[in-house]
Amino acid sequence: MINPHFSTKERILSAAEDLFAKSGFAGASLRQVTSAANVNLAAVNYHFGSKENLINELFKRRLDDLTAARMAALDKVRSSRQATLEQVLEAFVQPALSLASERGGSSFVRLLARAFAEHDQRLRRFVSDNYGHVLKEFAKVIAQLLPNLPKDALYWRLDFVSGALTYAMSDFGMIKKPAGVTDEQHRRTAAEHFVRFAAAGLRAP
Amino acid sequence: MINPHFSTKERILSAAEDLFAKSGFAGASLRQVTSAANVNLAAVNYHFGSKENLINELFKRRLDDLTAARMAALDKVRSSRQATLEQVLEAFVQPALSLASERGGSSFVRLLARAFAEHDQRLRRFVSDNYGHVLKEFAKVIAQLLPNLPKDALYWRLDFVSGALTYAMSDFGMIKKPAGVTDEQHRRTAAEHFVRFAAAGLRAP
DNA sequence: GTCTATAGACCGATAGAC
DNA sequence: GTCTATCGGTCTATAGAC
C-alpha cells in the first residue's frame, strides 16, 4: 500500500491522508497511521511534533499547490477579453481535478470535504487564514459577471456551489463510477456536469 | 443547557446531539455526553446498550418524523394537477426546515451533514437502508418533470443538489445569520434562495 | 433505575538507548 | 533518525451495591 521507497516523513503523510480521510481526524490514531506507513510510532512526534501539527502539514502539502494553480487559472481567465461564468468555474474546478489525479490526491479531496463538514474551529481557521483569499478573488470575479444579482443572493448561491462541489468531489472514488470508465474520464465528466449545473444555478432569475 | 425536567433518556439524546454535532462521533466521548446531560456515565449503557446504538437512536428519533413529513408533502404536490419543480424542491426542504426549528433540531441538521461527509460505511448504510426510499421517490418525480434530461446528468445534478442543501443547512446557526433576523426568517430566506438555485441548476441546458 | 468502582484497552507524547 | 519502553491519561463497557 505505502511505497517503501519514499522517506519516512512522506510515508507518514500518505498513510495519514488515507486514514484520516477514511475515519476522521479523531477516528484514526497515530498508531494506525504509523502501522500503515510501516514506521515506528515515535517517528510522528520526531518529524511533526504532534498529531495536530501532522494534520496541518497534510493540508499545507497539497493546498499550497492547489491555490497557486487556481490563482493562475483565474488570472488567465481574467486577462481574456470576454470571460464567461463557465470559464471562471472551470478555473476553480480544474486544478482540484488535477490534484485528485495525483498519487493519494483522491484521499486528500475527501479529507478536504471532511474538513469543511467538520465545523472544527481550529481546522477551519487554519484553512481560511491560509487560503481564504483565493475564494475571495473568485467571488469578486463572479460578482462582476452577475452585476444584477443582489449581494445576499450571491453569497447564498456561492455557498450552494461550494456545497455541491464539496460533496460531489468527496464521492470521487466511491460508489458512483460506472465500470469501464477510467478515473480520469470520470472526473472530467463530473467537472463538466458541475460547471453546467453551477453556472445555471448562479444565473437563476 | 439541558432541561432537567426531561427524562434521563431524553437528556442523554439531546446532549449527544449537541456534542456529536460539534465534535463528531469519535470526537465526543460518552463522559462528555453524560456530564453535559447531568446524568451518570453508566446510564448510557443502561438505556442504549452502547455508544453505537445511541447514535442510531439519535437518527431514528428525528428521521422517522422527517421522512414521513417529506413523503406527505411530496404526495400533496403529486396530487395537484400541475406540479412544478419548485414545488417538489419545496416539499423536500420545508420539512427539514421545520425540523431545524424544533428544540435541538439545528444540532441534528448539522449532525446529518456530518453523517454524509463521513464516509463511514456503518452509518451511511443505516441511513440509506432506513430512509433511502424517500430520496428515490423524489428522484422519480423530478425525473418526470425533466423528461429531456439524460439519466446520468440527472443523477449528477441530484447529487449536486443534495450537496448544496446539506452544506447550506449545516451552517444554520453558525456565522452567516445577520443581526436582527430571527432564526425562523433566516431559514425561510435560505429555503427560498435554495429552491431558486436548485431549480435553475436542474433545468440547465 | 441510578450509582460507584473498576476492568481492560487504547490514546498521545516522551525519555533514553543505539 | 530510529528504536523500545513507558508514563499518565482517556476511553467504552460492565459488575455489583443500593
- pLDDT tens-digit series, residues A183-202: 888 888 999 999 999 999 99
Domain A1-49, architecture per CATH: Orthogonal Bundle (1.10)
Low-confidence ranges of chain A (pLDDT < 50): 173-175
- Residue in A184, A188, A23 with CA at minimum distance from that of residue A110: A23
**Residue B2: per-residue pLDDT:** 57
Three-state secondary structure readout of chain A: CCCCCCCHHHHHHHHHHHHHHHHCCCCCCHHHHHHHCCCCCHHHHHHHCCHHHHHHHHHHHHHHHHHHHHHHHHHHHHHCCCCCHHHHHHHHHHHHHHHHHCCCHHHHHHHHHHHHHCCCHHHHHHHHHHHHHHHHHHHHHHHHHCCCCCHHHHHHHHHHHHHHHHHHHHCCCCCCCCCCCCHHHHHHHHHHHHHHHHHHHHCCC
Sole residue written with cell 460539534 = B22
B30/B26 Cα distance (integer angstroms): 10
Classify B149 in phi/psi space as left (phi over 0), alpha (psi -120 to 50) or beta. Answer: beta
Nearest CA in chain A to B161: A164
* Strand C proximal to B43 Cβ, under 7 A: yes
Q: Would you identify the CATH topology of the domain B55-202? A: Tetracycline Repressor; domain 2 (1.10.357)
pTM of the entire predicted model? 0.91
Q: Would you identify the CATH topology of the domain A59-202? A: Tetracycline Repressor; domain 2 (1.10.357)
* Radius of gyration, CA atoms only, chain B: 18
Contact A167 B167 (CB under 8 A): yes
Nucleotides of D under 7 A from a protein CB: 1-6, 10-16
Low-confidence ranges of chain B (pLDDT < 70): 1-4, 172-176
Domain ranges of chain A: 1-49, 59-202
- Looking at the partner chain, which of A167, A190, A200 has a beta carbon nearest the beta carbon of B162? A167
> Integer distance in angstroms from CA B33 to C1' D13?
15
